[in-house]
Each structure stands twice: as structure tokens, then as C-alpha cells.
Homo-oligomer: A and B are copies of this chain.
Amino acid sequence: MTDHERGAQIDVAVFGAGRIGRIHAANLARQRGVRLKYVVDVDRAAASALAAQHGAQAVDADAALADGAVGATVICSSTDTHADLIERSAAQGKHVFCEKPVDLAIDRARGCAQAVERAGVVCMIGFQRRFDPTFAAVKARLDAGEIGTPEMLVVTSRDPGAPPVEYIRRSGGIFKDMLIHDFDIFRWILDDEADTVHATGSCLTDPAILDAGDIDCTAVTIRTKRGRLCQINTTRRAAYGYDQRFEVLGSGGMLQAGNVRPTEVTAYSARAVSTDVPEPFFLERYRAAYANEIAHFFEAITGGTPVRTTIADGVKALELAEAASLSWREGRTVRVGCGA
């Protein structure tokens, strides 16, 4: 990541002062030529605290969006506010960085994509995994032809523990809430679109999740238009931490992206040789990725270059989540609409 010289300064408004909002705010603050001007949160205390930390102001959404000096918004508020904030930002000619998902409703998400296109603003979706050094290295080496033509992708994506059931109830279901990242990884790594999707799953960790109409572990299979295969396995609870791996088999070899460990200590006892468990959760695991994606966003704005994770990618991932959800509910293979 290099910071090139930039003439003008970009003022930014961050929506959402929760965990991920705080991460983005801190990373923003490190970009040269970028100033965090506003923090917006329905929890005014949280907004004020985060604003104070970075010399910004806590204001309401209307004020932030009305300020013509604000060149970009960073949307990390609750999912039900994303579409509205994207559309309002775009209408004001502000560039947008938005956390996934665009919206739980595919039509609304498509509407946002159109609004962004009409406004001609940059809109980047926070698929931070593409900016993880390990994942990005796999992609780069794959693109360089190191293992020939990709044929098969196996994604292991496991959370360390389920969120509260109240969260799950409003989450849009495991496919839209959790696997949406994996669907984006699939499209990015195989550089192909789904032809058919099959999903199954179970509720094995907590019956309350089933009562909420959801499941906590899934097994998804995608066959692409070019006949490539992808399997994704997920769970809401891996006792050993946050497990984020994938491997891509090509005609000439395989590339694996492994977990990241806090330290490189190996311990030998009478019973076992052991190393650290993976980083505990996404904030630690994707620390570098979050920094990289924000840098990428502002470089794209200032340099006029395209962003790597567009709102179209956000819509595509959502389509796959919908297809998987349908497959699971109806117990059948689902053919995905049009490709590109």
C-alpha cells in the first residue's frame, strides 16, 4: 500500500459507530488527504465517543448528507439502513463505501446499483476478504497461471460462535448474513458465474436458531457455467475459533489460503506438538484487510480508478444467497438466472 501525493482533502462521514465503524474510522484517519468529519449513529453516545477520538463531529444523517463538503460516506450502520443511505449518498454525488449486504431484498439492492450508476459515483462494497494479504496472494498467483486453469474451489468458513438469536432473526438468514462473503470469494477466485446452486444445512448448535427460521451450519455446492465446482462448508460455531480457509485446485496444482495465527510459537509437551488456534474473529483476522480496503477505496476515488468490489458484486453475491436459501428451503438444485 502506498500513499501517493494528493492535492485536495476528502471529508468523510461514517454511518455507524459500532465495531466495524470504529475499525473503518481508525483506518480512515491514517489515510493521507482524508479527514473524518462526521460520525452518525442512532446511539448518540457511541457517535460522540468515536467522533471525539478522531476530532470529528457527531451529527445526524441529514446533517452529514447535506454537507456539500463531504465527498464520501462510509456506511457501517445496520443492514436495514444501507440501501437508503447508498441512494441518498449517491443522490448527493458522494462516493460510497458500504458494508455488505447492500440490502436483504434483491430488488432493492438492484435499485441501489442503478442509483449509483446514474449518479456516477464510486460505490464499493465491503468484501474485505479480497484485501486480505493471504487471499489476495492466492488470487494473484492464480491469475499469474501458477496452477493452470482453476477447476475446483473448497471454502471453509466458520464463525467461532453464533450471534444472539435476536440478531439472527433480523439477519436475513445464514446465507445472506454469513455466506455472502463466501459467495463473493467464489466469484472472485473462480472468475466465473454460478449455473446451479445446491444448499443444505442443519441446526445443530442451538434450537432457538431453528425456531427463528434459520440454520447454523450449511453445505453449499455451486457448479459454474464453465463446469467448475465449488463447495462451501460453514458453521456458526467452531470451538477452536474463526476458521477461514479456502483451496483452489487447478489443472497444474493447488493453492491453499490458510488461517492466520497470533504468534508463531510451537509447544512440545509429552502429549502433543501444538501451535496457536487461529485469530479469534473477523476483527483480528481481517485487520490488515480492513486497512487495505479503505486505502483502496480512497485511492480509487482520488485516482479515478475502478474499485475491486463493486455494488454489482454485492448484487451478485446476494443473488447467490437467495438461490442457496431457496435450494435449502425446497430441497432442490436451483438454476441461477442470467450470468454476467
- Chain A positions near chain B (C-beta within 8 angstroms): 133-134, 137-138, 141, 146-149, 151-152, 154, 156, 158, 196, 198, 200-205, 217-219, 221, 223, 227-231, 233, 235, 237-241, 243, 249-260, 262-278, 331-333
A255 surroundings in chain B (CB, below 8 A): 265-268
Residue contact B272 to A196, C-beta cutoff 8 Å: no
State whether A277 and B266 are in contact (beta carbons under 8 Å apart), knowing that A219-B231, A233-B231 are contacts in the complex: no
Q: Tell me the bound Cα distance from A267 to B223 in angstroms.
A: 24
State whether A263 and B133 are in contact (beta carbons under 8 Å apart), knowing that A239-B270, A273-B240 are contacts in the complex: yes
A228 surroundings in chain B (CB, below 8 A): 202, 204
State whether A240 and B268 are in contact (beta carbons under 8 Å apart), knowing that A152-B217, A221-B221, A274-B273 are contacts in the complex: yes
Which of B231, B237, B241 is in CB contact (< 8 Å) with A221? B231
Nearest-CB residue, chain B, relative to A30: B30
State whether A266 and B271 are in contact (beta carbons under 8 Å apart), knowing that A152-B233, A152-B235, A229-B200 are contacts in the complex: no
Q: Tell me the bound Cα distance from A151 to B218 in angstroms.
A: 11
Q: Tell me the bound Cα distance from A146 to B260 in angstroms.
A: 23
Q: Tell me the bound Cα distance from A196 to B333 in angstroms.
A: 13
Q: Tell me the bound Cα distance from A275 to B137 in angstroms.
A: 12
A200 surroundings in chain B (CB, below 8 A): 196, 198, 221, 223, 229, 333
Residue contact B219 to A223, C-beta cutoff 8 Å: yes
Q: A152-B219, A253-B267 are in contact. List 6 more A-B contacts (CB 8 A).
A: A149-B204, A196-B331, A200-B229, A218-B229, A219-B229, A239-B253
A158 surroundings in chain B (CB, below 8 A): 249
A137 surroundings in chain B (CB, below 8 A): 262-263, 265
Q: Tell me the bound Cα distance from A265 to B245 in angstroms.
A: 10
A268 surroundings in chain B (CB, below 8 A): 147, 238-240, 243, 253-256, 277
Residue contact A238 to B219, C-beta cutoff 8 Å: no
A331 surroundings in chain B (CB, below 8 A): 196, 333
Q: Tell me the bound Cα distance from A274 to B240 in angstroms.
A: 11
Residue contact B270 to A277, C-beta cutoff 8 Å: yes
A158 CB → nearest B CB, Å: 7
Q: Tell me the bound Cα distance from A221 to B221 in angstroms.
A: 8
